[in-house]
């Protein structure tokens, strides 16, 4: 095979790979460990908030919040201190095995509601949230108390 032909094939392969990744990205697939765009969609805002909490990144976590949610967290930080609250976020979110976000319901052009299910080894927790489009980014504005549910089949149970 000639060098020119190899170059053409390599170029086509790179373009096909890039196109495939773009299609996967647009359909919701994410590369593991990559930073998610903060607030491009309601789902992105939720994933960014969760990842910041899991890392104990207090600044990143606060950046995902606004309104009543931000006020409540600011109050908790004032009562416990920044380091203690960051530790709480890490400890609370590290055991989470996965999260599922029900497709957010658009309440208006700038408001959405979503249901998040946090999957733990021994339980699931379901939480309703509200989001608003503020300054071109979706931010969580209200976090309802999470409800604990026992799954019929525990996480990690062998499938027979």
pLDDT per residue over 27-80, tens digit each?
444 444 444 455 689 999 999 999 999 999 999 999 999 999 999 999 999 999
pLDDT tens-digit series, residues 142-156? 999 999 988 777 777
Residue 123 in any domain: the answer is: yes
Query: What's the rounded Cα separation, in Å, for the pair 78 and 38?
Result: 25
- Asked if the model's pLDDT at residue 4 lies above 90, the reply is no
Higher pLDDT, 11 or 152: 152
Q: What pLDDT sits at residue 156?
A: 76
Domain count, the chain: 1
Q: What pLDDT sits at residue 153?
A: 74
Residues 33, 103: contact at Cβ < 8 Å?
A: no
Query: What's the rounded Cα separation, in Å, for the pair 8 and 150?
Result: 56
Higher pLDDT, 142 or 20: 142
Supply the CATH number for residue 47's domain: 3.10.450.50
Query: What's the rounded Cα separation, in Å, for the pair 100 and 115?
Result: 8
Residue 56 in any domain: the answer is: yes
Residue 105 in any domain: the answer is: yes
Domain that holds residue 98: 39-149
Average pLDDT of the chain to the nearest whole number: 83
Residues 125, 117: contact at Cβ < 8 Å?
A: yes
Q: Tell me what the mean pLDDT of segment 125-150 comes to.
A: 94
**Which residues have a Cβ under 8 Å from the Cβ of 82 and sit 6 or more positions away?**
58
Exposed, middle or buried: residue 113 (CB in 10 Å: 0-12, 13-18, 19+)? middle
Q: Tell me what the mean pLDDT of segment 101-111 comes to.
A: 93
Residue 136 in any domain: the answer is: yes
Q: What pLDDT sits at residue 35?
A: 47
pTM across the whole model: 0.71
Q: Tell me what the mean pLDDT of segment 95-122 comes to.
A: 94
Distances (CA, A) of 105 to 50, 74, 109, 112: 19, 27, 11, 5
- Asked if the model's pLDDT at residue 8 lies above 90, the reply is no
Q: What pLDDT sits at residue 16?
A: 52
């Amino acid at each position: 095979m000639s060098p020119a032909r190899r170059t053409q094939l390599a170029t086509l392969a790179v373009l096909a790979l890039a196109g495939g990744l773009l299609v996967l990205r647009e359909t919701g697939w994410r590369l593991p460990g990559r930073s998610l765009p903060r607030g491009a969609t309601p789902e992105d805002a939720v994933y960014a908030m969760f990842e910041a909490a899991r890392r104990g990144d207090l600044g990143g976590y606060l950046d995902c919040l606004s309104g009543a949610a931000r006020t409540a967290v600011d109050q908790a930080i004032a009562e416990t201190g920044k380091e203690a609250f960051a530790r709480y976020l890490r400890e609370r979110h590290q055991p989470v095995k996965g999260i599922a976000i029900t497709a957010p319901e658009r309440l208006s052009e700038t408001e959405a509601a979503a249901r998040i299910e946090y999957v733990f080894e021994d339980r699931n927790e379901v939480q309703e949230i509200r989001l608003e489009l503020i300054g071109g980014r979706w931010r969580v504005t209200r976090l309802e108390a999470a409800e604990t549910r026992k799954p019929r089949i525990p996480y990690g149970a062998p499938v027979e």
